[in-house]
A and B are shown apart, each in its own frame.
Chain A
Amino acid sequence: MLPAILVITILGGLFGLGLGWASRRFQVESDPVIDQIEAILPQTQCGQCNYPGCRPYAEAIANGEADINQCAPGGEAGIIALADLLAVEPKSLNPANGEEKPKALAVIDEMVCIGCTLCIQACPVDAILGASKYMHTVIDSECTGCELCLPPCPVDCIDMVVKDQGTGDWKWPKPQVIAMNLHENHP
């Protein structure tokens, strides 16, 4: 009886030490699920999901505080990807968080801009160039279309413009399914 208790206790102690060592040795800095969720999110940092950025929203999803259908820029494809990752049923986008729109770029009307720098401070990805009392402009390739620069503008000189779809960005459309007509009258 006694040896058995001793052996089990010692073994337990050893395993405990081993686990303790392993948890330090192989420590993961952050929750991998959060990283995986964040990788799916579009990184516009727009806040339409009611969280102050993509990372906080990813954390909220991982903690079960937020639903997967709150990201408007990610759209249907994003929701499906999240549903796949988290093994839940996909849902349609929550209308309270906006609607899925084609990607647009912010364009500053440079004749109207007064150079107040408020939009520069609002832009989460530093895509607006300018200085106090000088004209501002948006760097097209950096703009994520988050619309955060729109509300602070005191002269309302920023517009969201959908990029012109030229032959360069053209994509093959989804095939039209010719539905089978079961009641077809065969000649």
Chain B
Amino acid sequence: MTQIDRLTQARQAGEQLHHFHGGLRLRHNKKISCELPLEPMPLPPRFYVPLLQHSGPEAKANVSIGQTVLKGERIGLGSHPGRGCIHAPTSGTVKALARRAISHPSGLEGLCVVIEPDGLDQWKKLEPIGDWNNAPPSELRQKISDSGIVGLGGAVFPTSVKVEEASEKGIHTLILNGSECEPYISCDEMLMREQPDSIILGARILQRAVGANRTIIAIEDQMGAVNQALMAAVTESGAGDIDIVTVTTIYPEGGEKQLIQVLTGLEVPSGGRPSDLGLLCQNVATATAVARAVVEGKPLIERIVTVTGNGISKPRNLLARIGTPIECLIDQCGGYTENAARLILGGPMMGYALDSDSNPVIKAANCILVLSDFDIRPPQAEMPCIRCGECARVCPALLLPQQLHWQISNQQWDETAKYGLSDCIECGCCDFVCPSHIPLVEWFRFGQDQLRSLATDRKQAEEAKQKFEAREARLARTKLERKQRMDEKKRALRDEAERKRKLAEAVDRSRSRQDKEA
């Protein structure tokens, strides 16, 4: 298929549904958290706002201890403009800048801004863009950048970076991803049910910001009431260029690349971006964050969090501010049940375990899952790979997990790169089906990090080599120059001696002549 064919096909996204390779049909387990309505969290006694909440380096705090801040005031500056700004979740006093656990998979500590709320919950002076429909797209993008918005589906990639790149490359279709495929997580479903208007508004603003012609909102076929709610919102807004597409629930169809494959039948090229196909994919929650930032001027300081699992008394969705300790959310849901056993941030397939519920809610926290003893598979001894190929059959990225596992455990990094390790989305399907209980995703996470660090090492080595060679060349040059200078000096001295000798000779000659004449 030529590039032009691919682009034409990408333009027909959503008209006909396709399949991606592999995947799993998992028990949904979403109903338990969808029975109670969405509820906003009361203010906790203290907020612990981590300065690292996006993919990239930590933000720099621009508040000092004892300073009073207003709700929505910027308290963390991203390392690059538009990357990972952090805003105060409420008005109050900065009590400390402390190193605390920041809900990172490593369990390591990071710098947190500790804010004691004053109870007034007073906004800073808001600067909305009133007439967004006529505002220049660059102004909209700037607003997104200033509001600290990141992808709320879980990857927390800065939205401004994605949007800037998309608008540079030229986008025809905006895809809003509402197909949250991981079991238990229902925050997007709840959002689409309760605030469909703000999603549609966000879609229209994003569409204008990147210059797309139309929007597709992808939802799952198991989200009953969502379709009607969104339809009604679309009709009400009068936007004719927004389509709602229902996709079949197969894990991980909510992955960006998988969803694009379902909608277009095309694969995002390895190492490429959806923008190569003229597409931009954003989570529905990100769209509402954009709507709030542009129309109300409010930065991203809260998100919907699903608190669920058999270890929670009353599972539900909560609207929680960033920085709220997780224990407060759990109390709001009636606390733990007797057999609560493991606290997980994220879903059962891609989430990671937290060691304490005093960790704060972060922008990436779509779900807090508490599993009971009954849910947890006991640790199993790892058996040798029997090369049954189940993992390759379920891999949505069309990789060969058994092969990659072998290569990683033998440190054949160049080979793993050739076999597409960097295309692994860490969905956990291979791990789930492996009859030998090999923790494949753990291996792939390890391998991907090694591959990345190897690449930086090689780059640094190359730079060091260039600097070394430049230095050698410089030393050789100065040596040569010094030698030339010395030679010149010697020659000059020799010349001087020669001149003097000649002069003396001439004097001698004239003297002898004078003597003769005399």
Contacts and interface: CB of A to CB of B under 8 A. Distances in A.
A38 B105 CA distance: 36
Nearest to A168: B57
Interface stretch (A25-33, A39-47, A104-112, A130-138): A39-47
A136 to B, nearest CB: 16
A100 B313 CA distance: 51
B108 A175 contact: no
Contacts of B57: 168
A166 B108 CA distance: 7
B67 interface: no
Nearest to B474: A126
A41 B461 contact: yes
Contacts of B446: 171-175
Interface stretch (B32-40, B132-140, B463-471): B463-471
Interface in B432-467: 437, 439, 442-443, 445-446, 448-450, 453-454, 457-458, 460-462, 464-465, 467
Contacts, number: 81
Interface string A114-132: 0000000000111100000
B449 A171 contact: yes
A180 B436 CA distance: 11
B380 interface: yes
Given A168-B57, A171-B453, A175-B439, A43 B462 contact: yes
Contacts of B110: 166-167
Contacts of B104: 167, 170
Interface in B179-214: none
A175 B441 CA distance: 9
B58 A168 contact: yes
Nearest to B105: A172
A181 B412 CA distance: 28
Interface residues on A, range: 20 to 34
A45 B463 CA distance: 12
Given A80-B411, A167-B52, A178-B379, A142 B467 contact: yes
A70 interface: no
B381 interface: yes
B514 interface: no
A53 interface: yes
Given A172-B446, A177-B382, A178-B379, A167 B467 contact: no
B445 A172 contact: yes
Contact of A54 (B58, B437, B453, B465): B465
B412 A84 contact: yes
B62 interface: no
Contacts of A84: 412
Interface in B80-116: 102, 104-106, 108, 110
A144 interface: yes
Nearest to B447: A172
Interface string B410-438: 01110000000000000000000000010
Interface string B369-404: 000000000011111000000000000000000000
A177 B443 CA distance: 10
Nearest to A174: B446
A162 interface: no
Contacts of B411: 77, 80
B453 A180 contact: no
Contact of A166 (B58, B380, B467): B58
A124 B411 CA distance: 30
A170 B449 CA distance: 9
A45 B379 CA distance: 46
A176 to B, nearest CB: 9
B454 to A, nearest CB: 8
Nearest to A143: B464
B468 A180 contact: no
B298 to A, nearest CB: 28
B457 A178 contact: no
A179 to B, nearest CB: 7
B464 A125 contact: yes
A181 B381 contact: yes
Interface in B477-497: none
Contacts of A167: 52, 58, 102, 104, 106, 108, 110
Interface of A: 38-39, 41-45, 53-54, 77, 80, 84, 124-127, 142, 144, 165-168, 170-175, 177-181
Q: Which 6 A-B pairs have the closest CB atoms?
A: A171-B449, A175-B442, A172-B445, A43-B461, A180-B381, A125-B467
Interface of B: 52, 57-58, 102, 104-106, 108, 110, 379-383, 411-413, 437, 439, 442-443, 445-446, 448-450, 453-454, 457-458, 460-462, 464-465, 467-468, 470-471
5 contacts: A77-B413, A125-B464, A167-B106, A172-B445, A175-B443
Given A54-B465, A178-B437, 17 more contacts: A39-B458, A42-B464, A53-B468, A125-B467, A125-B471, A126-B471, A165-B108, A166-B110, A167-B110, A168-B57, A170-B104, A172-B105, A173-B446, A175-B442, A178-B382, A180-B382, A180-B383
